[in-house]
Amino acid sequence: MIVNRLIEKVMRKAQGAQAYLEQSESTNVSFENDKLKSVRSSQSTGMGVKVIVDGKIGSSHTTDIDDVDGVVGRALEAAEFGSPAHFRFPSPQEGPDVKVYDGAVLRVTKEEMVRIGEEMMTLVKGYNPDILLSAEAGRGVSKSHFVNSAGIEFLTETTSFAAGVNGQWIRGTDILWAGHGFGWKKREIDHVEIAKKAIELFKMAERIAQIRSGDMPVIFTPEGMNVFLLALRLGFNGKNVFLGSSPLAGKLGEKISDDTFAIIDNPLLDYASGSGTYDGEGVPHQVTPLIEYGIVKNFLYDLDTAGRAGKKTTGNGVGCNPTNLVIKEGGTPYEEMVKNTKEGLLVHDVLGLGQGNPISGEFSVNVQLGYKIENGEIVGRVKDVMLAGNTYEALKRIVAIGDKAEWAGGSLLAPPIQIARLSVVAK
């Protein structure tokens, strides 16, 4: 096997090494402006090696599987100028049993994906023929072979499937974008339900409502919770914590949010997008609580950062990034949140997440899809509205957490959450 040859060659000069080979293929069907745009199939290959030579790290990657000597040579050369290695390549450990492969995905034909896209668009058109639609459906499969010099060797085969529909509704000078989609590693996706959710978003936006500027209650849908996730991903990244750039550095065991809030990193959920048995360094995945009862419990580490910080890896390599984030459900139905709000904003989607200072938690974003709540009812869509605040301050002001979590994308499982007050700026 190619990866075994990589290890054999590189270990003539290295004291430790890991290598991988990944091959994938995918088929995607897309519609644009109410019409079939493309049916495409593609294949890709990636190969790489990481080495430790005289205590320094070197790595190299390529898409040419015949370039064994080249990728080995470049990795060894890189190690001459590499950063110090604060870890050893791990020895074999048995990983958890996680389902990431569904054979039914491979049986999905191009014709079926075309039908899925057409049916989603037909449903939305049945609600309003004036909405200009785009849709997509896609499937994929990837095979990965991983080996290291400490004795780890495993093969992984993963599938993926996704579907979604989005639309543009133009009324004079008003342009509304809305839609819904979902993807994970299993064929079981209800595209009819996806279309119905998209229709519901359009229905709530039929009227345009004026909203004042000021501090007010804000409810975030599961998709809307992405407003906070950028700061949390950066804040719980072990490298940022070690370097001191995370505002959570030194706060392990401290309370940083309302005590009803809890979030975990869980790569062991069957078929979820971020799930798997091992991370990219051959370390078994594990469930890692990040916040429990409002208290910081853990940070996320890969091998190198864990070694530098004097910690143990959490199986989040390479990069100390989360896998699937899961926010614990509360006890308040979504409908009750809305009913109990005299005046407020419902946020479903925003633009400009990178604005503000994400590492500190500061955000200032344009509300792409949001709705005004008045006297316990959603009265219409808001336009030209910005939302500003700080993630960590907002999490201290939680007044209700929904009793039903939903997937927002394929790697966030979250309920709706209501914040007591945030700054809303209307133009």
Token digits for 267?
A: 């790569």
Q: Is 240 helix (H, G, I), strand (E, B) or coil?
A: helix
Distances (CA, A) of 225 to 63, 217, 219, 222, 345: 36, 15, 9, 5, 14
Distance, in Å, from the CA atom of 282 to the CA atom of 300, rounded to the nearest integer, reads 16
Helices (H) and strands (E) in the chain, counts: 10, 19
* Last residue of one domain, picked from the residues 174, 204, 234: 204
Q: Say if residue 176 is in the same domain as residue 88.
A: yes
Residue recorded with tokens 């914040």: 419
Q: Say if residue 186 is in the same domain as residue 213.
A: no
Q: Say if residue 195 is in the same domain as residue 211.
A: no
| Cβ atoms within 10 Å of 336's Cβ, excluding its own | 15
Q: Say if residue 147 is in the same domain as residue 272.
A: no
Pairing label, strands 325-327, 343-351: unpaired
Q: Say if residue 296 is in the same domain as residue 277.
A: yes
In this structure, what CATH number is given to the domain that contains residue 75?
3.30.2290.10
Residue recorded with tokens 């229709």: 199
Distance, in Å, from the CA atom of 237 to the CA atom of 258, rounded to the nearest integer, reads 21
Q: Say if residue 237 is in the same domain as residue 380.
A: yes
Range of the domain at 79: 2-204
> Looking at the chain, how many residues does it have?
427
The pLDDT tens digits along the chain (427 residues) read: 899 999 999 999 999 999 999 999 999 999 999 999 999 999 999 999 999 999 999 999 999 999 999 999 999 999 999 999 999 999 999 999 999 999 999 999 999 999 999 999 999 999 999 999 999 999 999 999 999 999 999 999 999 999 999 999 999 999 999 999 999 999 999 999 999 999 999 999 999 999 999 999 999 999 999 999 999 999 999 999 999 999 999 999 999 999 999 999 999 999 999 999 999 999 999 999 999 999 999 999 999 999 999 999 999 999 999 999 999 999 999 999 999 999 999 999 999 876 779 999 999 999 999 999 999 999 999 999 999 999 999 999 999 999 999 999 779 999 999 999 999 999 8
Q: What is the model's pLDDT at position 220? A: 98
* Last residue of one domain, picked from the residues 204, 222, 254: 204
Which amino acid, one-letter code, is at 367?
Answer: V
Q: Say if residue 126 is in the same domain as residue 273.
A: no
Q: Say if residue 131 is in the same domain as residue 232.
A: no
Q: What is the model's pLDDT at position 353? A: 75
Q: What is the model's pLDDT at position 354? A: 67
Phi, psi of 411 (to 5 degrees): -135, 15
* Last residue of one domain, picked from the residues 204, 220, 243: 204
Q: Say if residue 248 is in the same domain as residue 369.
A: yes
Q: Say if residue 98 is in the same domain as residue 233.
A: no
pTM: 0.96
Q: Say if residue 292 is in the same domain as residue 393.
A: yes
Domain count, the chain: 2
Q: Say if residue 319 is in the same domain as residue 423.
A: yes
Q: What is the model's pLDDT at position 409? A: 79
